Chains A and B, each alone.
Chain A
């Protein structure tokens, strides 16, 4: 119960700070100096530890094996998506995702092969941070967390809650070193390996901290809306000047067609 109470008090504090959604180009980032220090720390840790490990991993592991690792971890934590389907009252999607989890766990050999996608059970991405957003909670403060990367008040709370829908939480020996290595380190290195192609783009940004912040917040906002966020008006009306561009109607009525992916 102590844990539950702690969660509740954190939740209350976060709620106070998270009432509204902020535009991604003007977010609430009162901890920016601390966050920037954390980002520098994370970048160094990446530069000296994670990235070399990921490169080595790519060098010695065949692509097919890496795909298997990616599939395995993605399937392992899929119950989080299922639980949050139901938290967001997406019952059909929840049923389909349950089927996908079963199919991949059994016929996909414990999740190594993504059979589900091949039989038309598309992968969804839900978590408790999205659930809170779905029911109207804003993201609150932007946060940069050591080792874990970008987050915000809402998603940090979501992360905590999602621990309980992650099956590895219920494994008895989850903090034993071999198990820990297998689940955490391999997962991290594999994720980093998947992100290697993005490094060159990070290098051509003016300010990587701001790049990551803007991208993260938009990415999360889009996930809350399952890929179809309301279009940002980009301040067209504010910045559009008089003469030359008769200018766009903000709040364009053309809604993108529903997307499944």
Chain B
């Protein structure tokens, strides 16, 4: 019954593997660089890093998280993603809540996918399709297909836009399932049942499920 999920879900882990692999080659590259080139260069870079430090990262997870934060996270428009995920709740959130939410959400993804990244960096190859861009576009979709060594392939898409003169990812789609839409649906429902602060602290503690996540009643305690 969840057959349709197989591809998206496995691929989601891989996608984040790859996307978190986008290192920050942002030094002086304004969008003179095409978005797919930016993503590709930096993907190769992080994969190289994992290759060189595999055993080290495997033994010392915080060190790997740090590497991901330094190298990969800057490629993401973290405040923008937080805004999109919060949707209508963004307007009512205080600036402090927005910042804490963005950080907690980013950390949650890093922690969730770090192991998948380490375990899969070798088994996947990415085929980049050149995006068709309007001149001076500030928003683009970069499509890739990710092939695993077992022969399966997945459609992975990156939505990027220009922030501070560089391309930053604001959504990832895996087999056309959007990360932003997925978390927007779930988090806004959780916020409605409890509160934004409660959801932020649950993200920080890695406690995704509330007691009643399988039904729509109020939380038991």
Contact = CB atoms under 8 A, between A and B. Distances in A.
Chain A to chain B: the 9 pairs with minimum beta-carbon distance, closest first: A149-B1, A222-B176, A198-B9, A248-B139, A191-B3, A206-B186, A195-B6, A256-B143, A201-B9
Given A192-B3, A227-B155, A240-B83, 7 more contacts: A150-B4, A207-B186, A207-B209, A208-B213, A210-B185, A215-B5, A261-B153
A55 B177 CA distance: 27
Contact of A252 (B4, B12, B140, B176): B140
Interface in B140-178: 140-141, 143, 145, 153, 155, 157, 159, 161, 163, 170-171, 175-178
B145 A259 contact: yes
Contacts of B214: 36, 39-40, 43, 208-209
Nearest to B182: A214
B6 A198 contact: yes
A245 to B, nearest CB: 6
Nearest to B210: A206
Contacts of A202: 2, 5, 9
Interface of B: 1-6, 8-10, 12-13, 77, 79-80, 83-84, 86-88, 90-91, 112, 129-134, 137-141, 143, 145, 153, 155, 157, 159, 161, 163, 170-171, 175-178, 180-182, 184-187, 189-190, 199, 202, 208-210, 213-216
B175 A219 contact: yes
B132 A213 contact: no
A8 to B, nearest CB: 28
Given A206-B186, A222-B175, A25 B159 contact: no
A218 B186 contact: no
Contact of B181 (A24, A201, A244): A24
B139 A218 contact: no
A231 to B, nearest CB: 6
A205 B186 contact: yes
Contacts of A204: 112, 208
A30 interface: no
Contacts of A201: 9-10, 12-13
6 contacts: A206-B187, A206-B199, A210-B185, A210-B189, A211-B182, A245-B163
Given A236-B84, A254-B134, A219 B6 contact: no
Contacts of B86: 239
Given A36-B216, A208-B214, A246 B176 contact: no
Nearest to A220: B4
A109 interface: no
A149 B4 CA distance: 10
A227 B176 contact: yes
Nearest to A114: B151
Given A254-B140, A256-B141, A219 B8 contact: yes
B141 A231 contact: yes
A129 to B, nearest CB: 12
Contacts of A25: 87, 181, 184-185
Interface string A218-261: 11011000010101101110111100111111001111110101
Nearest to A240: B83
B190 A221 contact: no
Contacts of A147: 1
A236 B188 CA distance: 16
A2 interface: no
Contact of A194 (B6, B137, B209, B215): B6
